Amino acid sequence: MPKKPVKFYFSNYFSEWNWFELLLLAVSFIIPLTVGIIWGSNAIEIILSILLPIAAVLAAKGLFISRIAALIVGVLYIIVSLGANLYGEVIITAAIFMPIKIYGLVAWCRNRTKTKDGKASATVSVSNTTSKELIILFVLHLCLAVGLYFMLRSFNTAFLWVSVASAVINSAATWLLSRRSILAFPMYIVLDFVQFALWLLVFLGGDQGAIALVTSMVLFIVIDTYGMIAWFRMRRKQSEKYD
């Protein structure tokens, strides 16, 4: 049997993408790349600023590959944050986010929807979050916020309050997304505004290369808002399928 050309797989993969999603994907690549080059960002900052929104677009589509992209983003984010003396971002990403992302990779892999022939598809199934889980999540992250404040203050972390807020919100949102909960997206929208402020402060502090990440955060606001809408539609579609 002759091999199918790469063009076939490429067109087949994007066959279920609408024009707005393809536009988001293109913008997520072009704008951070352009801004990063103009403002002199280093290679890691540019790659990170491109992968951040692309991973978000893939997550908005509910695609399993987004969890792999998220792990790569986590490693690059640690490197960039170290260079900017954002120790809160480094500690939380390495100690909390990365384990949660690994858990999410496994959870999404095991909870993908089925194709007509019974095989696992590329799309995750949306789950419902219980009130008990949300209460526990709130209490744990309230304690995390207090602990982080004192720990990061001892490290003389730059932009302490913004770093603490960013870390706590990001942790909660990452956990909810790993649990395949639609509530992750409202959390991510709040996080987008917090991290926009964080990297804007870094930029205003003299790191011109950070403008690429500032741009990515603006894209995130649009992407995560669309993701929330898309997941509502996806949950309704999946509910109708299994009713």
d(CA 163, CA 173): 15
d(CA 114, CA 102): 22
Q: Quick one: pLDDT at residue 10?
A: 47
- The Cβ of residue 166 has, within 10 Å, a number of other Cβ atoms equal to 21
- The Cβ of residue 26 has, within 10 Å, a number of other Cβ atoms equal to 11
d(CA 212, CA 151): 29
Instruction: Provide mean pLDDT across the span 137-146.
Output: 94
Instruction: Provide mean pLDDT across the span 2-23.
Output: 66
Length of the chain, please?
A: 243
> Could you report the per-residue pLDDT of 23-62, keeping only the tens digit for each?
999 998 998 888 888 878 888 888 988 898 899 999 999 9
> Could you report the per-residue pLDDT of 54-92, keeping only the tens digit for each?
999 999 999 999 999 999 999 998 998 888 777 767 877
Q: Quick one: pLDDT at residue 84?
A: 78
Query: Is residue 16 packed enough to be buried (19+ CB in 10 Å), middle (13-18) or exposed (0-12)?
Result: exposed
Q: How confident is the model at residue 145 (pLDDT cuts 50, 70, 90)?
A: very high
Q: How confident is the model at residue 223 (pLDDT cuts 50, 70, 90)?
A: very high
| Six-digit token string for 87 | 């120790």
Q: What is the pTM of this model?
A: 0.83
Instruction: Supply φ then ψ for residue 122, to 5 degrees.
Output: -85, -5
Q: How confident is the model at residue 1 (pLDDT cuts 50, 70, 90)?
A: very low
> Mean pLDDT lowest for which of 37-51, 139-153, 208-222?
208-222
Secondary structure percentages of the chain, helix, strand, coil, to 5: 75, 5, 20
Q: How confident is the model at residue 6 (pLDDT cuts 50, 70, 90)?
A: very low
